[in-house]
Amino acid sequence: MNDRSPVMRRCFYFKLWRSVATRFFLCALTAAGILLLPSVAADEHSSGSFVLELSLDGEVEPILATYVDEGIADAERRHAALVLITMDTPGGLSDSMKDMIQHILGSRVPVAVYVSPTGARGASAGFYILLSADIAAMAPGTHTGAASPVLAIGGYVPQIDEVLRKKINQDAMAFLRSFTERRGRNPALAEKAITESKAFTEKEALDGKMIDLIVSSPEDLLRQLDGRTINRFDGTQVTLSLKNPVRAPFELSARQKFLARIVEPDVFFVLLILGVLGLYTEFTHPGVIAPGVIGGICLILALYAMHFLPVNLAGLFLIALALAFFILEAKAPSHGVLAAGGVASMFLGAIFLIRSPLTPGGVSVGVALAATVPFAVLAVFLMRLVLRSRKWKTATGREELIGAQALVVSSLQTGTEGMVRVHGELWRAESSQPVQEGKSVRILRVEGLKLYVEPVEAAVTAAR
């Protein structure tokens, strides 16, 4: 009994500890439930005055469009009373602009777009986005407009004929009218931002009935919107309840911030060039490894960006043609004609790479030139190294022995074998002429483990 008592005591203490731990865990769950229930109820109770804030800062591009789409979807899931988009943008890509507007028009939660802070602008694509919102507001000292469609290629605006310009303008005007009329705004004045590239101060926009409010801060905006009845795009009327609103920012994730850089046209072009150059280096110089790894990663990132950007296939074909010109220049020198053609082809491919029919966007001329010339030099240089290496004498194996000199260590008689030393190794050798020990011979060929040689003097005489 005494022998078992320690074991029994341990079992008793273990059961007691397990019972206490179980009760403590249940108490913790109960306490958590008690603490959480009021907060959930409070969230549900205060959901009517919950405001989700988004920031549209910078050029309108695909990742920002995804950010706005996700923000509106999150506001709908959380039953927000309002989505507040603070905007400061010079414009951007038309496809991204249209995507944002479609989600704003279809949002189940009212959307307010606020051009802020002082000195900010809602230009070009931002003008369309501002007028598409349920509530359009601007801060003092801001401006909007200048929304003429621009067919920009690499920051350069080419001359287009009047018919094409008229078609682009008419398409943009119809798109603008499609939601400004339903929003009760002034489509005739808004169209002047397209036909005349007219820009408006906040006061001009308010007097022209294109925006609803001029407010100095988001707090002032929410205060003035509290109790206001607005007409939604679908024709329904909603009275906003924004008394003591709970505001929460919707931030760009680290992933979106990283991807936002990748989908910039300049960065996309550089990634594409680095990817092609890295793989080209690896294929022409196998075993270097690092260029292949870096090039592969850059190319995959470029392909990802290509999924979002409006890429023109003609630009890709011009870049591929440029690479072919550089390779041909190395193989068949054309006194620089093929190289010049490759540079021109790659430059044109860069500025044609991103197509944006309504708003400016594309690879800048500076980046196109800065990437094209070094790429041309490296591509031609690497290919010439490859072609030159094919003429180099083999440095390893039996082929490397042919033409090398060896030292006779055992006299060679005509038709009989002797021994020679080459590269510190002893080889059996046979010579067509007698050679004394200590003399040098030249290797003519290798058969198995036997060398066929001739005296160096004979080789020099034959050469003369």
In whole angstroms, give the CA distance from residue 61 to residue 308. 9
What pLDDT, in 10s, does the model give residues 204-253? 999 999 999 999 999 999 999 999 999 999 999 999 999 889 999 998 88
What pLDDT, in 10s, does the model give residues 334-378? 677 888 888 899 988 988 888 654 445 678 888 888 888 888 888
Token readout for 220 is 């002032």
Q: What's the pLDDT score for residue 272? A: 92
Q: What's the pLDDT score for residue 38? A: 35
In whole angstroms, give the CA distance from residue 325 to residue 73. 49
Q: At what angle do helices 125-132 and 187-195 cross, to 10 degrees?
A: 170
Q: What's the pLDDT score for residue 313? A: 85
Q: What are the CA-CA distances from residue 8 to residues 1, 11, 19, 22, 373 (Å)?
A: 10, 5, 16, 21, 85
Closest C-alpha among 295, 233, 259, 223 to residue 105: 233
Residues constituting the chain: 464
Q: What's the pLDDT score for residue 226? A: 94
pLDDT 10s digit of each residue in the chain, 464 long? Answer: 444 444 444 444 445 444 544 454 444 444 444 333 333 333 433 445 899 999 999 888 888 999 999 999 999 999 999 999 999 998 888 888 999 999 999 999 999 999 999 999 999 999 999 999 999 999 999 999 998 876 654 444 556 677 878 888 899 999 999 999 999 999 999 999 999 999 999 999 999 999 999 999 999 999 999 999 999 999 999 999 998 899 999 988 888 778 778 888 888 899 999 998 888 888 877 777 888 899 999 999 998 888 777 788 888 999 999 888 888 877 776 677 888 888 899 988 988 888 654 445 678 888 888 888 888 888 777 777 766 655 555 555 667 788 888 999 988 888 788 999 998 888 989 988 888 888 889 988 888 888 989 888 765 555 45
In whole angstroms, give the CA distance from residue 356 to residue 125. 12
For residue 225, give every residue at least 6 positions away whose Cβ sits within 8 Å of its Cβ, in sequence order, or none: 82, 112, 135, 213, 240, 242
Domains of the chain: 43-254 (3.90.226.10), 263-389 (no CATH), 398-463 (2.40.50.140)
Token readout for 425 is 């190794």
Give the SS3 label for residue 34. helix
